[in-house]
Chain A
Amino acid sequence: MIDRIAALGRGTLDVLMAIGRAGLFLVQSVFCLPSREGFHLWLRQMHFVGVMSVAIVLVSGLFIGMVLALQGYTILVGFGADEALGQMVALSLVRELAPVVAALLFAGRAGSALTAEIGLMKATEQLTSMEMIGVDPLRRIVAPRLWAGFVSLPILTVIFAVVGIWGGYLVGVDWLGVYDGSYWSNMQDSVDFVGDVLNGMVKSLVFGLVVTWIAVFQGYDLVPTSEGISRATTRTVVYASLAVLGLDFVLTALMFGDLG
C-alpha cells in the first residue's frame, strides 16, 4: 500500500520535473540574441520544416476542401440552401480544419523528424561534444528549429485554407453546379477577417509553438538508445496530436464560445 502511494508520488514528481525542464528549455532556447549565423541556421530549418511540408499540406488541403464541399452539398441541398456552400467550406476551413489538420500533419511530418534528428545527435554524443567546444546546443540546434516551426506552421495553415477553399470551389461550382457568384459572395458576407481568419492564425501560431516545442524537447530529453529514440518519436506524435486537439477546444471556447 505504502509502496503504491510512494509510486504515485514518484510519478507526480517525475511529471512535474519534466514540465519544469521543458519550460526552462523553452525559455533558454527562445530568448537568444539574433545573429547572422543563426539566421542561416533558421533558414535551413525553414526549408526542412516548412518548404518540405508544402506538398503534403497541398494535397491534404485540396482533398479536405473537396470532401467538405461534397458532404456539405448533399446536406445543404436538402434544405434548398446549397448557395451557403461557400460559407460552410470557408468557415469550417478557416476556423477549424486548416489550423488543426495542418498542425496534425506537421506533427507527423516535421515533428517526428525533429525528435529523431536531435535524439540521434544526443545518442551519438554530438550535443555533448558541442558543449565541450563551447557551442551552446540550445542556441545552435534547438532555437533555429523552434523558430522555424513557429513561423512555418501559420504559413502552412494559410496554404491549407486557400487550397481547401479552391478544392471546394472545384467540386461545388465546377462539378455540382452551385452558382459561382453565390459561392464567393456568401463566403464574403459571412467570413470576418479579424474574427475568423486572424483567430485561425492565432490558433496555428499556438499550435506551431506547442508542436515544435514538444518535438525538440522530446528529442533533447530522451534516453540515448535506439529504443529511446523510437519511444520519443512516438511520444512526440502522440503528445503533439493530443495537445493540438485539446488546445483547439480551449482556444475555440475562448474565441467563439462567448465565454469572455
Chain B
Amino acid sequence: MKRNSVLELGVGLFMLAGILGLVFLGLRVSGLSFGVPQNTFTLTANFANIGGLRPQAKVSMSGVRIGKVTDIELDPKWFDAKVTMQIDAQYDGKFSDDTTAAILTAGLLGEQYVGLTVGGSPKMLHDGDVIHDTQQALVLEQLIQQFVSNMAK
C-alpha cells in the first residue's frame, strides 16, 4: 500500500495534540505536580465541630497556603473530630507549640479550610505534634439559635 506522508503527518499531529491536551489538563487544570512527593510533616488537631471541612482542604497561615488536610476521623476517646494535616517541611519546627487552629470559610459560601495562627511560646511544634488550642467551625444554625435565645431574654 502506498504511503502517504501528508496523511501520516496529519494523524501524528492529531495524536500529539491529544497528548499535549492531556498534559495541559493534568498540569494546568488539575494542578498535578510530578516528581518526588513534597516533603511534609504531620500535625493533628482536635476540633469540637468541623462543619463542612473535607480532606484535601487547604491549611493556611496568614492566607498563605502551607499544607492540606489529609484525614478526618472521630476521636473515640473524646468524641471530637481529629484532623490530620500535612504541612510543608520547610515550616517544621518554625511554629510555636501554642499555635492555634481555626476552621474558617473562604467567602460567604466558599469552601472551609484550616487557618493557623502562631503564638508566642519558645517551644516549637514538630512532626506528629498536636495543636491543642482550636476553634471549631461556625455553624449557622447554632449562631441563629444563640441569637434567637438572646433576643428572648
Chain A residues proximal to chain B, CB less than 8 Å: 37, 40-41, 43-44, 46-47, 50-51, 54, 79-81, 83-84, 90, 94, 152, 154-156, 158-159, 161-162, 165, 184, 187-189, 191-193, 196-197, 201
Contacts and interface: CB of A to CB of B under 8 A. Distances in A.
A5 to B, nearest CB: 52
6 contacts: A50-B14, A80-B108, A81-B110, A155-B17, A158-B22, A193-B30
A81 B14 contact: no
A37 B28 CA distance: 39
Interface residues of B, number: 28
Q: A-B pairs with the 9 shortest C-beta distances? A: A188-B31, A155-B18, A158-B21, A193-B30, A191-B30, A162-B21, A46-B11, A51-B10, A51-B14
Contacts of A189: 31, 58, 111
Interface in B82-127: 107-111
B30 A155 contact: no
Contacts of A201: 22
B28 to A, nearest CB: 7
Contacts of B58: 189
Contacts of A80: 107-108
Contacts of B29: 90, 94, 161, 165, 187-188, 191, 197
B153 interface: no
Contacts, number: 84
- Determine the main DSSP class of B at the interface with A: helix
B148 interface: no
A79 B108 contact: yes
Interface of B: 1, 3-4, 7-8, 10-11, 13-15, 17-18, 21-22, 24-26, 28-32, 58, 107-111
B91 to A, nearest CB: 20
A152 B14 contact: yes
A161 to B, nearest CB: 6
A154 B18 contact: yes
Nearest to B1: A40
A152 B18 CA distance: 9
Given A51-B11, A188-B29, 11 more contacts: A40-B3, A43-B8, A46-B14, A51-B10, A81-B110, A90-B29, A152-B14, A155-B21, A159-B18, A159-B21, A187-B29
Given A80-B107, A161-B25, A44 B7 contact: yes
A189 to B, nearest CB: 7
Contact of B107 (A41, A44, A81): A81
Given A51-B11, A155-B17, A184 B3 contact: no
